[in-house]
Chain A
C-alpha cells in the first residue's frame, strides 16, 4: 500500500475537521445559524478532497522524495516532529507553571530552567530570569495596569474581570 506524505495527512485532518463542522452545524435550529458554517464547511471539504487527490496523484508520479542533503524525507519528518514535541513540551510546561504559580514566578523559573538545560551558567540564567520577570512586571503590571494571573497556589482565579 502506498504511503501518504505529511501534506496529505494535513488534508485529511482538514477533511475530518470540516466534516465535524458541517455535521454539528446541521443540528442548529435556525437557517441563519447553520447556513454559513454548512456552506463554507462544505466548500472547504470539497477543496480539501481536490487537494488530497492532487497530492496523492502527484506523489504517485514523482520519484521517491529526498532532502537536499540526500537524506530521506521520512527521517527529516521524524526530526521535525521531535523538535516540535520538544517546543510543545516547553510550552505546556510553562502553561502548567503559570496555572499553578502565576506569571511572575513561573516565567522566572521557566527562564532559569530553560537556560540551565541549554547549559548556560548560573549567573547568566539567574540574571536573565530576573530581568525577564522584571520586564514583564514593568511592562504589563505597571505600564499597562494589567492584573496578571497570580496562580492557583496563591488563590488566583482563571478569569479576572479587571480589564
Chain B
C-alpha cells in the first residue's frame, strides 16, 4: 500500500504531468469564471485531447477541470454577483456584499484559501479510507460487479432531476446508445440500420460533447447573453492576505465544512448544492452572530468554499472504487477512464492502485495550483467573464468539431454530435437529467458483459449472494428514497398544521 502511494505521488510530480495539470488549471479557471459555461463544459470539450495521452497524464488533466473551476466561479460570485458555477451560489450571499463594502479582495483571499484548504483537507480523509475499502472491493466477483453496475446506473437516475421516471428513461437511452454497433460475442451489427459508420459503435466523446457542450452554446444564443458589467476588485493585496488568514482564524468552520463536503462527496448523487448549503447552515448555526450572515461576513465565504472543494476527493474515491459516479463531472470522468483504457470499479483499486493515489493527490495539487494562480491573477482573470457570446460561440464550436473529428479521424463523427447536441438541449429544456444517459452509455458495455458472464457461470440466480442481495437492497432503497422524502415532508407539514 505504501509502495503504491509512493509510486502514485512520484507519477504526479513527473514534469509532463505537472505541465499538463498546469494547463488544465488555467483552462478550468477560465471556464469557471465565464458564467455561461462551467468546468463540466470544459471536461466535455477537452475529452478528445486525452486520446493520445497515457492514463497517468490524461486522468489528472481531466480531474483538474471540475475541481478547480469552482475557484474561478467563486471570483465571479464575489465580484459580479453571478455564480460562475452553480455550487458557488452560497458564496455570493456574503461574498458580493463584502465586495460592495470594499472588502472584495479579502473575500477573494478567503475563498481561494478555503478552496485550497478544503481540497487538501479532503484528500487525507480519503487516503485513510482506502485500506478500509480494500477488503470490500476484493470480495467482488462478476455477479456483484454486474449488480454494482446496476447500482451505478440507478444512483444518478434516481437522485438527479425532478422525477425518477425521467432519470430512468435517460439511463435507458444511454444503455440503448451503448448497444449500437457490433455485438461482442456474436459479431452481429446491432441497431446500425445498415450504416457501416455505426459498426464501431458511438463515441463517448461525441455523446459527452453533444450532451454537455452544445446545449450550453444553444442556450447562449437563444437567451441572447449580453456582455457582463466590468468588475472591479475593491481592496489591496494585504486584504487578500487577510482573507487567507481568516481561514485559519475560523479553522473550526473550515474543518466542519470540509468534513461535510467529504461525507457528501462520498455519497453518490447528493450533489454539490447540498454540501454548500449544509456547510453554510452549520457555520451560521455555530456562529455567535448568526444574524450577520448574508450581510457580508467572511465566515459565509469560507464555509461553502471549503465544503465545495472537499467533496471532490470523496466523489472521486466512490467513482474509482465502485464505478459509481456520484455527480455529472464524475460521470464524464468515467467516460475518460474508459477512453484511456482503465475500467473503474473494484478491479481498479487492485490493478491501478498507484493511479488512484495519483488522482487523489492530484485533486489537492490542482487546487493548490489554482489557488496560487488566483491569488495573483484574480483581478485579471475576472475580465474573462466579460467575453461576449459572439466570440465564444464560433470558437467553442470550432474546437468541438475538430475535437470530435480527432477522436475517430472521421468527419462523419460530427453528425451524431449534432444529433446528441439537439437531444441534450431538449433534455435540458424538458427537465430530463443528462448525467444518467452518459453513465448508461459508459457502463453499457460492462453491464452487458457482466450480465451474460454471470448468467453463464452462475446461472439465472447469480444475484443470490450476501453482497449481491445487499446491493439489490441498496438499489431498491435508492428508488424509494425520493418518495420516502416526499412522504416525510408531507407528514411533517401535516404535523405543523395540526
Seen from chain A, the residues whose Cβ lies within 8 Å of a Cβ on chain B are 6-7, 10, 14, 18, 21, 24-25, 28-30, 32-33, 36-37, 40-41, 43-44, 47-48, 50-51, 54, 79-80, 83-84, 86-88, 90-92, 94-95, 98-99, 103, 107, 110-111, 114-115, 118, 120, 128, 132, 136, 140, 144-149, 158-163
With a CB–CB cut-off of 8 A, which chain B residues contact A118?
390
Interface-lining segment among B112-120, B255-263, B294-302, B423-431: B423-431
B477 contacts chain A at the CB level, 8 A cutoff = no
The reply to whether A44 and B172 contact each other, CB–CB distance below 8 Å, is: yes
The reply to whether A148 and B169 contact each other, CB–CB distance below 8 Å, is: no
B190 contacts chain A at the CB level, 8 A cutoff = yes
With a CB–CB cut-off of 8 A, which chain A residues contact B393?
87, 90, 114
With a CB–CB cut-off of 8 A, which chain B residues contact A87?
217-218, 221-222, 393
The range of chain B's interface size is: 35 or more
The reply to whether A163 and B398 contact each other, CB–CB distance below 8 Å, is: no
Alpha-carbon distance A72/B409, docked complex (angstroms) = 46
Alpha-carbon distance A87/B224, docked complex (angstroms) = 12
Seen from chain B, the residues whose Cβ lies within 8 Å of a Cβ on chain A are 49, 51-52, 163, 165-166, 168-169, 172-173, 175-176, 179, 183, 185-186, 188, 190-191, 193, 217-218, 221-222, 390-391, 393-395, 397-399, 401-402, 405-406, 408-412, 414-415, 418, 421-422, 425-426, 429-432, 447-448, 451-452
The reply to whether B410 and A159 contact each other, CB–CB distance below 8 Å, is: yes
Known: A10-B432, A37-B176, A90-B393. 8 other contacts (CB 8 A): A10-B426, A21-B191, A48-B169, A51-B165, A95-B418, A107-B398, A111-B394, A114-B394
Alpha-carbon distance A130/B401, docked complex (angstroms) = 17
Residue of B nearest to A80 (CB): B222
* Most-contacted residue by chain A among B190, B432, B451 (CB, 10 A): B190
The reply to whether B409 and A32 contact each other, CB–CB distance below 8 Å, is: no
DSSP majority for the A interface? Answer: helix
Partner of B175, one of A36, A91, A136: A36
The reply to whether A147 and B191 contact each other, CB–CB distance below 8 Å, is: no
Known A-B contacts A14-B173, A37-B190, A40-B175; A110 and B168 likewise in contact (beta carbons under 8 Å): no
The reply to whether A115 and B186 contact each other, CB–CB distance below 8 Å, is: no
Known A-B contacts A10-B426, A29-B188, A144-B406; A83 and B222 likewise in contact (beta carbons under 8 Å): yes
Partner of B398, one of A36, A132, A147: A132
Partner of A24, one of B51, B165, B191: B191
Alpha-carbon distance A147/B394, docked complex (angstroms) = 22
The reply to whether A32 and B185 contact each other, CB–CB distance below 8 Å, is: yes
Known A-B contacts A80-B222, A144-B52, A158-B412; A128 and B401 likewise in contact (beta carbons under 8 Å): no
Partner of B172, one of A32, A33, A43: A43
**CB-defined A-B contacts under 8 Å, sample of 17:** A7-B430, A21-B191, A30-B188, A36-B175, A36-B179, A37-B191, A41-B172, A43-B172, A84-B218, A88-B422, A90-B397, A103-B401, A140-B406, A144-B406, A146-B409, A159-B410, A162-B409
The reply to whether B218 and A40 contact each other, CB–CB distance below 8 Å, is: no
> Shortest 5 CB-CB distances between A and B: which pairs?
A83-B222, A44-B172, A159-B410, A7-B430, A118-B390
With a CB–CB cut-off of 8 A, which chain B residues contact A91?
397, 418, 421
The reply to whether B429 and A80 contact each other, CB–CB distance below 8 Å, is: yes
Partner of A136, one of B51, B402, B447, B452: B402
Alpha-carbon distance A95/B431, docked complex (angstroms) = 29
With a CB–CB cut-off of 8 A, which chain A residues contact B431?
7
With a CB–CB cut-off of 8 A, which chain A residues contact B402?
103, 107, 136, 140, 148
Whole-angstrom distance between the Cβ of B134 and the nearest chain A Cβ: 32
Alpha-carbon distance A28/B452, docked complex (angstroms) = 17
The reply to whether B430 and A6 contact each other, CB–CB distance below 8 Å, is: yes
Whole-angstrom distance between the Cβ of A59 and the nearest chain B Cβ: 13
With a CB–CB cut-off of 8 A, which chain A residues contact B190?
25, 28, 33, 37
